[in-house]
């Protein structure tokens, strides 16, 4: 074999192995990290609300920013942040909407929780019965709160109980352009 | 399902566990360093095949029949005889044994089983194919292995299909072998003293979703067909297979209670609470009602305003606050597993636990493997190469008549077999047996 063909062959084999290895490693490392992150486009969904009737993210998101709050009645921090969210919501929500997505609980449990609260929650509660939306957003721990701006982009995500300041920050971010 | 390995190892083994996780030992075959090692193995195989395969090809292609007398002497098998009269007989004899002959004047080269030398390279080729196939498993859409957990009567989305398919568990069955079936196995079954399962089966309906635009929206399901999967008899659709894998009946489905009066006499009929979506009110007999005031699926504590707090949403330790009211009065009691407490004083009624039922859930696995044909082909080629390299012998014999009759022979393995090829031919031609330097 000529020296030039030899080196061309050598370099191309090593290069193709490196490329294949790189692609494999990349697929391997990205395969289980599909969680929705800040900067991603929000995934549209449609769910039934507790009051009845459907709610669709893209409809609400047309003119308003959206705060998604994934919660369960059995989750203590979720229970504790609800009244704060409700109070701030009632200070005015012309340019944003809160959707509290209950993760796969039955209406009895939700209603029981709501009636134990001192005041009524005014934002819509969506029922994710089969965890379709929870899975689509790859929500791990509860509560998880996601802010979506008017352009449909995820601008913030927190996986713990929100403080009052956090909630104001969420409101501000979701209403920004 | 199962614990989070990251959490588990760091909690139980501290720093050591963290290192273990970082190096991917919990999932070794897809850890980065293992994949790199396999890639380097593939590289060495390819490099070795080219570096040694090409020179080998050249040297086997251009073999010369003419060899120096010192070459003859160096061979393990060689012989020199004074007379070259019977050379033609030897040539004919070896041809009959299946040797190919190359002639150059009065020099001869006999050769057989050259393929043997290619065995390792065929073997490498199979191995590279196999490695390529296993690499493809990491590519999206090539390989799927997922669990599907379905409680009896429920319909769930089939994962990895973007919500296109749904499957409904109509019935899960476990059959056991009958001890009194009248067959020869009866005695054995009786002696081992435990039930032996003959069949695990899930009867399901398979649906296609016609309304898959928006996540979470109610699916519009069109039934494709009903099917029963059993162990090793999967359901096939598109490029997927659904296998019966396991089952679970640890989840509570319902609890049945009986209302009793203070003299332990039953009042009305027992009532059953479906734990997944309980009714609010049960009328046990005319005028006597049981109301669920509170329910916690996994009871933890009673908080300050009297609500029941649940630790998880799973019904593992249910607790209820029942309100029992008849035409005259109403009273409250807290019912837990193995425990009941009156909340109001001087209660007239007791709620007594009768029985609970569990859900039957089937566990199916969804599989797809487009790499299998490649891996299987690679492995077959691997084995063929191994066979060729191990069991075929490359035998070469050189003969010349420059100075009497000279013969020498070489093989890459099995000199005994080579001698058995040569000696009868020499004997019939009137020569001595060939000398073996090592014997």
Question: What local confidence, expressed as pLDDT, does residue B215 receive?
Answer: 79
Q: Is the pLDDT of residue A17 over 70?
A: yes
In a domain, B135, yes or no: no
> How many Å lie between the alpha carbon of A107 and the closest alpha carbon of chain B?
7
Residues A4 and A77 in one domain: no
Helices marked H in B75-118: 87-96
C-alpha A106/C-alpha A100 separation (Å) is 15
Residues B204 and B302 in one domain: no
User: Mean of the per-residue pLDDT values for chain A?
Assistant: 88
Under 8 Å between Cβ of B379 and B45: no
* Chain B residues touching residue A73 (CB < 8 angstroms): 310, 313
C-alpha B240/C-alpha B236 separation (Å) is 6
Banded model confidence at residue A1, pLDDT cuts 50, 70, 90 = low
* Chain B residues touching residue A109 (CB < 8 angstroms): 295, 297, 310, 313
Residues B157 and B100 in one domain: no
Under 8 Å between Cβ of B207 and B246: no
> How many Å lie between the alpha carbon of A162 and the closest alpha carbon of chain B?
20
Instruction: Report the DSSP beta bridge partners of residue B400.
Output: B107, B406
* Chain B residues touching residue A1 (CB < 8 angstroms): 54
In a domain, B121, yes or no: no
DSSP state of B127: H
Helices marked H in B157-309: 186-192
Question: What local confidence, expressed as pLDDT, does residue B1 receive?
Answer: 47
Tokens describing residue B22? 């970082």
Residues A97 and A166 in one domain: yes
Residue of B nearest to A72 (CA): B313
Under 8 Å between Cβ of B426 and B90: yes
Residues A12 and A72 in one domain: no
Measure the N-to-C terminal CA separation of chain A; round to a whole number of Å.
Answer: 64
Question: What local confidence, expressed as pLDDT, does residue B212 receive?
Answer: 72
Residues A161 and A74 in one domain: yes
Residues A166 and A95 in one domain: yes
Under 8 Å between Cβ of A147 and A174: yes
Q: Average pLDDT in the A51-62 region? A: 90
Residues A18 and A84 in one domain: no
Cβ-proximal residues to B192 (8 Å cutoff; 6+ apart), any chain: none
Please state the domain count of chain A: 2
Provide Rg for chain B, Cα atoms. Answer: 40
Strand, helix or coil for residue B376:
helix
pTM assigned to the model:
0.78
In a domain, A66, yes or no: yes
C-alpha B262/C-alpha B74 separation (Å) is 111
Residue of A nearest to B313 (CA): A74
C-alpha A96/C-alpha B157 separation (Å) is 32
Cβ-proximal residues to A166 (8 Å cutoff; 6+ apart), any chain: A145, A158
C-alpha B333/C-alpha A109 separation (Å) is 19
Residues B182 and B244 in one domain: yes
DSSP state of B40: H
Q: What is the pLDDT along chain B (439 residues), one digit of tens a residue?
A: 457 788 888 888 989 998 998 888 888 888 889 999 999 999 999 999 998 999 999 999 889 999 999 999 999 999 998 888 888 889 999 999 999 999 988 899 999 999 999 999 999 999 999 999 999 999 988 999 999 999 999 999 898 888 889 999 999 999 988 888 788 888 888 888 788 899 999 999 999 998 777 777 778 899 999 999 999 999 999 999 999 999 998 888 999 999 888 888 888 889 999 988 888 888 888 888 898 888 999 988 887 777 788 888 888 889 999 998 888 888 888 888 777 788 888 888 888 888 889 999 999 999 999 999 999 999 999 999 999 999 999 999 999 998 889 999 999 999 999 999 999 999 998 899 999 988 7
Tokens describing residue B117? 């030398």
In a domain, B191, yes or no: yes
Banded model confidence at residue A33, pLDDT cuts 50, 70, 90 = low
**Is the preceding peptide bond at A143 cis, omega within 30 degrees of 0?**
yes
Interface residue of A10, A78, A102, A112 to substitute, partner B, most B CBs within 10 Å:
A112
- Residue matched to tokens 């000398």: B435
> How many Å lie between the alpha carbon of A48 and the closest alpha carbon of chain B?
8
Tokens describing residue B170? 């109509």
Q: Do A29 and B42 touch (CB under 8 A)?
A: no
Residues A84 and A153 in one domain: yes
Residues A72 and A140 in one domain: yes
- Residue matched to tokens 């004899």: B93
Under 8 Å between Cβ of A46 and A56: yes
Residues A58 and A81 in one domain: yes
Please state the domain count of chain B: 4
In a domain, A39, yes or no: no
In a domain, A40, yes or no: no
* Chain B residues touching residue A83 (CB < 8 angstroms): none
* Chain B residues touching residue A104 (CB < 8 angstroms): 313
* Chain B residues touching residue A74 (CB < 8 angstroms): 297-298, 309-313
3-state secondary structure B141-197: CCEEEEEEEEECCCEEECCCCCCCEEEEEEEEEEEECCCCCCCCCHHHHHHHCCCCE
- The C-alpha angle with vertex A15 and arms to A10 and A21, in degrees rounded to 5, equals 130
Residue of A nearest to B279 (CA): A108
- The C-alpha angle with vertex A96 and arms to A168 and B214, in degrees rounded to 5, equals 125
According to DSSP, the β-strands at A54-56 and A46-49 are antiparallel
Provide Rg for chain A, Cα atoms. Answer: 23
Interface residue of B3, B216, B220 to substitute, partner A, most A CBs within 10 Å:
B216
Residues B159 and B217 in one domain: yes
Half-sphere exposure of B78 (CA within 13 A, CB side): 14
Residues B147 and B245 in one domain: yes
Question: What local confidence, expressed as pLDDT, does residue B116 receive?
Answer: 94
Complex-level ipTM: 0.79
Instruction: Please enumerate, as own/partner, the contacts of B32-36 that have beta carbons within 8 Å and a separation of 24 or more.
Output: B32/A25, B32/A28, B32/A29, B35/A21, B35/A24, B35/A25, B35/A28, B35/B138, B36/A21, B36/A25
**Which domain, by its residues, includes B6?**
1-30
Residues B261 and B201 in one domain: no
> How many Å lie between the alpha carbon of A21 and the closest alpha carbon of chain B?
6
Interface residue of A2, A61, A71, A74 to substitute, partner B, most B CBs within 10 Å:
A74
Under 8 Å between Cβ of B354 and B273: no
In a domain, A71, yes or no: yes
Under 8 Å between Cβ of B252 and B361: no
Last residue of a domain, one of B299, B334, B357: B357
Residues A118 and A139 in one domain: yes
Which helix (H) or strand (E) segment is A155 a member of? strand A154-158
Measure the N-to-C terminal CA separation of chain B; round to a whole number of Å.
Answer: 67
Spatial CA neighbour of A65 closest among A169, A150, A151, A165: A150
Under 8 Å between Cβ of B12 and B26: no
**Which domain, by its residues, includes A134?**
46-175
DSSP string, B24-36: TGGGGGGSHHHHH
């Amino acid at each position: 074999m000529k020296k030039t063909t030899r080196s061309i062959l050598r370099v191309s084999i090593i290069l193709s192995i490196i490329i294949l290895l790189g692609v494999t490693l990349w697929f391997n490392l990205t395969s289980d990290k599909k969680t929705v992150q800040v900067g991603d486009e929000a995934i549209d969904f449609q769910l039934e609300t507790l009051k009845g009737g459907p709610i669709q993210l893209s409809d609400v998101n047309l003119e308003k920013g959206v705060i998604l709050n994934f919660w369960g009645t059995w989750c203590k921090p979720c229970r504790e942040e609800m009244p704060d969210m409700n109070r701030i919501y009632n200070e005015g929500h012309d340019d944003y909407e809160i959707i509290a997505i209950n993760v796969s609980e039955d209406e009895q449990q939700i209603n029981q929780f709501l009636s134990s609260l001192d005041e009524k929650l005014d934002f819509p509660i969506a029922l994710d019965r089969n965890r379709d939306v929870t899975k689509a957003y790859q929500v791990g721990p509860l509560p998880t709160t996601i802010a979506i701006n008017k352009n449909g982009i995820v601008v913030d995500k927190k996986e713990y109980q929100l403080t009052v300041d956090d909630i104001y920050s969420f409101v501000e971010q979701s209403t920004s352009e | 399902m199962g614990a989070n390995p990251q959490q588990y190892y760091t909690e139980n083994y501290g720093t050591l566990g963290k290192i273990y996780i970082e190096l991917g030992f919990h999932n070794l075959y897809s850890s980065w360093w293992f994949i790199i090692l396999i890639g380097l193995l593939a590289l060495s195989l390819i490099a070795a095949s080219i570096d040694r395969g090409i020179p080998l090809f050249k040297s086997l292609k251009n073999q010369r029949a003419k060899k120096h007398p010192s070459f003859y002497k160096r061979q393990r098998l060689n012989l020199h005889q004074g007379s070259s009269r019977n050379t033609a007989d030897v040539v004919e004899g070896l041809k009959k044994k299946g040797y190919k002959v190359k002639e150059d004047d009065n020099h001869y080269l006999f050769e057989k089983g050259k393929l043997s030398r290619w065995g390792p390279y065929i073997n490498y080729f199979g191995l590279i194919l196999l490695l390529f196939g296993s690499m493809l498993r990491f590519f999206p859409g090539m390989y799927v292995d997922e669990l599907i957990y379905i409680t009896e009567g429920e319909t769930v989305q089939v994962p990895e299909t973007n919500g296109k398919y749904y499957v409904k568990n109509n019935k899960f069955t476990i059959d056991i072998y009958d001890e009194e079936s009248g067959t020869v196995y009866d005695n054995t079954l009786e002696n081992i003293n435990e039930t032996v399962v003959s069949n695990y089966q899930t009867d399901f309906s398979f649906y296609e979703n016609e309304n898959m635009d928006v996540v979470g929206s109610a699916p519009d399901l069109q039934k494709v067909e009903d099917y029963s999967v059993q162990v090793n008899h999967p359901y096939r659709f598109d490029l997927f297979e659904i296998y019966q894998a396991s089952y679970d009946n640890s989840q509570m489905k319902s609890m049945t209670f009986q209302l009793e009066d203070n003299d332990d006499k039953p009042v009305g009929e027992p009532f059953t609470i479906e734990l997944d979506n309980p009714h609010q009110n049960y009328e046990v007999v005319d005028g006597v009602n049981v109301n669920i005031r509170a329910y916690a699926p996994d009871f933890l504590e009673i908080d300050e305003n009297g609500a029941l707090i649940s630790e998880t949403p799973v019904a593992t330790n249910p607790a209820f606050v029942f309100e029992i009211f008849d035409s005259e009065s109403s009273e409250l009691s807290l019912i837990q597993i193995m425990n009941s407490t009156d909340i109001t004083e001087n209660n007239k009624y007791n709620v007594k636990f009768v029985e609970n039922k569990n859900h039957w859930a089937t566990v199916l696995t969804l599989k797809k493997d487009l790499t299998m044909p490649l891996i299987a082909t690679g492995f077959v080629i691997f084995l063929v190469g191994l066979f060729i390299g191990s069991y075929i012998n490359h035998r070469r014999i050189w003969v010349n008549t420059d100075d009497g009759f000279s013969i020498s022979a070489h093989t890459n393995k099995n000199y005994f077999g080579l001698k058995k090829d040569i000696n009868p031919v020499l004997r019939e031609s009137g020569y001595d047996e060939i000398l073996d330097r090592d014997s």
